[in-house]
Amino acid sequence: MLLRTPPDSLTLFEETPFVPDFSLELMARDAGHWPVAGTDEAGRGPLAGPVVAAAVILDPDNIPPGLDDSKKLSLKQREALFAMIMATAHVSIASSGPRLIDERNILRASLDAMRRAVIGLNIKPAYLLTDGRDMPPGLACPGKAVIKGDSRSVSIAAASIVAKVTRDRMMGRACTVFPAYGFAKHVGYATKQHRDGITSHGPCPLHRMSFRPMRKDPLPEDDLADLQASDITLTP
């Protein structure tokens, strides 16, 4: 029987999962920046609805337990944490609708929503932690863009939860106005039910006309090659 000894460098063989904590916020505080806000968005991938951003300044003495990337949490967990965040933290929410997304592209619209969410906080942050690779433009405070930030910073995780719960509720209400698409079930993502609704009824005012299948111009060769090589399916 072949025996294997444990590897001396685990990270070379398996990815250690991130668990969000308050260390990035404390590093900023130690550098003289306080308070620290986290910001994140929800809804970059869907075919319909707004992209929603939240900015959150947590109370370091009253951080809700269980904060994590909203995509890793159940609906029940997100709703419970949303209530705790709203009760204990400084929170601001902003959104960019389909028209702005079509005019400016989804990245710019997302960053602008995050910028407005930060500006809307009732306490001015001295430092900003944001999820992803890009910082929202036009802000006076310094900050850091953190890859997988919603799995590394509790402030960003809190913002991801607030943005996700808020957007899901918005799309639930949208379903009562435009019931043909099933927004309450898929919140605007490209599920079969949603695509069938677009085929049968055409797009509604909530659809992003710069996204396919609403956008009808031929795919550039590079985009077509990327699409053919991709096996990724977007889900809520």
Burial code (b: 16+ CB inside 10 Å, e: under 16) for 167-180 equals bbebbeebbeebee
Q: Which residue, 190, 121, 127, 133, is CA-closest to 162? A: 121
Strand 36-42 and strand 51-57: pairing?
A: antiparallel
pTM for the predicted model, two decimal places:
0.86
Q: Per residue in 157-206, pLDDT tens?
A: 999 999 999 999 999 999 999 999 999 999 999 999 999 999 999 999 99
What confidence category does residue 217 fall into, taking pLDDT thresholds of 50, 70 and 90? confident
Lowest-confidence region among 6-15, 75-84, 154-163 = 6-15
- Percent of the chain exceeding pLDDT 70 equals 85
Q: Is residue 200 within a helix (H) or strand (E), and if so which, with residue range?
A: helix 192-201
